[in-house]
């Protein structure tokens, strides 16, 4: 059966996460309902990356199987049925055995922080009005590249068989009036990026030094990490797949 992939963007504050949870408003439920209405048959989608409540996405992916063919016109029709907080950016044809979750090569997240109160950034970035030492933040971000086991940054009761991840990029970036943390890896654990951000922010405020940060990572104990940063500062920025996996309609 032909398989298609949808590239979607959404405002996470409008949903209780991305993954379907019965009748609770989620990204996946909204997609399934709109597709079912458009195609006049029950449709199920399968997501590439699960995002928590409040977390935004500039480029998450879902795949679905259809006996019918989708077209560029389908993109317009589908977006007309979706809420304003959710949009489909592109529709791709894929191989019949393609899986948006397991065939992804990497995922990249960005966490946005601003210091001066700005009502236009409320629930789009984290208001953090404290002094931060940027050199310390860059040092902690770089330190993460030396590790593969990130159990300290995985929330309890996560349904995962391994805490091993390969981080390809990890750095802090000044962007006009904002400070961003960017991290790219082959996979992420439940709450991992928010844990990385919160723990680094504590180091950036001088709560502990680089050696203590290394000790937290190595301890494999999530009680030592800080998961307090709000979800609304976090963006799933992009997901990469093997070349040629996504074919334009």
Is residue 242 a contact partner of residue 94, using CB atoms and an 8 Å limit? Answer: no
Give the mean model confidence (pLDDT) for residues 165-193: 96
pLDDT in tens, 33-76: 999 999 999 999 999 999 999 999 999 999 999 988 888 899 99
Q: Which long-range contacts (CB under 8 A, 24 or more apart) does 169-175 make?
A: 169/108, 170/141, 170/142, 170/144, 170/145, 170/196, 171/138, 171/141, 171/142, 172/134, 172/137, 172/138, 172/141, 174/134, 175/112
| CATH-assigned architecture of domain 106-237 | 2-Layer Sandwich (3.30)
Intrachain domains 3-103 and 106-237 with the same fold: yes
Helices (H), 57-123: 72-81
Would you state the pLDDT for residue 174?
A: 93
Find out whether 16 and 26 touch, Cβ atoms under 8 Å: yes
Q: Residue 215: pLDDT above 80? A: yes
Q: Is residue 52 flagged as an active site residue?
A: yes
- Percent of the chain topping pLDDT 70: 99
Read off the pTM: 0.95
SS3 217: helix
pLDDT computed for residue 95 by the predictor:
96
Take residue 38 and report the two structure tokens written for it.
């458009």
Q: How many CB atoms lie within 10 A of CB 204?
A: 22
- Whole-number pLDDT of residue 69: 85
CA atoms within 13 A on the CB side of 184: 11
Query: Which are the contacts of 54, defined by CB distance < 8 A and separation ≥ 6?
Result: 12, 13, 123, 230, 231, 232, 234
Return d(Cα 119, Cα 125) in angstroms, integer: 10
pLDDT at 71: 87
* Percent above pLDDT 90 for the chain: 92
Please give the pLDDT value at position 158: 65
Q: Helices marked H in the chain — which ranges? A: 27-39, 72-81, 134-143, 192-204, 210-219
- pLDDT of 155 higher than 90: no
Q: What is the pLDDT of residue 230?
A: 96
* Angle, helix 192-204 to helix 134-143, in steps of 10 degrees: 140
3-103 folds as Alpha-Beta Plaits (3.30.70)
pLDDT tens, residue by residue, 238-249: 999 999 999 998
**Which has the closest alpha carbon to 233: 189, 182, 187, 190?**
182
For residue range 94-145, what is the model confidence (pLDDT) as tens digits? Answer: 999 999 999 999 999 999 999 999 999 999 999 999 999 999 999 999 999 9
Q: Tell me the average pLDDT across 218-229.
A: 96
Mean pLDDT for the chain overall? 95
Out of 11, 52, 103, 226, the active site residue is: 52
Pairing of strands 126-127, 167-175: unpaired
Could you tell me the residue ranges of all domains in the chain?
3-103, 106-237
């Amino acid at each position: 059966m032909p398989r298609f992939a949808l590239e979607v963007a959404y405002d996470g504050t409008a949903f209780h996460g991305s993954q379907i949870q019965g009748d609770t408003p989620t990204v996946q439920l909204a997609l399934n309902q709109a597709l079912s209405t458009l195609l006049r048959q029950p449709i199920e989608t399968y997501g590439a990356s699960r995002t928590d409540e409040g977390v935004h996405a500039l480029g998450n992916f879902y795949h679905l199987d259809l006996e019918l063919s989708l077209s560029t016109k389908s993109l317009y029709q589908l977006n007309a049925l979706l809420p304003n907080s959710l949009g489909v950016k592109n529709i791709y044809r894929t191989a019949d055995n393609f899986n948006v979750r397991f065939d992804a090569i990497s995922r990249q997240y960005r966490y946005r922080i601003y210091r001066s109160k700005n009502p236009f950034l409320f629930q789009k970035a984290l208001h953090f009005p404290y002094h931060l030492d940027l050199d310390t933040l860059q040092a902690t971000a770089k330190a993460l590249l030396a590790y593969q086991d990130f159990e300290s940054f995985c929330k309890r009761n996560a349904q995962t068989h391994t805490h091993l991840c390969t981080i390809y990029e990890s750095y802090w970036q000044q962007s006009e009036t904002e400070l961003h943390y960017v991290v790219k890896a082959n996979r992420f654990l439940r709450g991992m990026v928010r844990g990385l951000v919160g723990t680094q922010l504590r180091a950036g405020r001088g709560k502990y030094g680089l050696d203590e940060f290394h000790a937290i990572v190595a301890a494999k104990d999530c009680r030592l990490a800080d998961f307090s940063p709000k979800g609304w500062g976090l963006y799933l920025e992009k997901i990469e797949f093997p070349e040629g996996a996504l074919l334009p309609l």
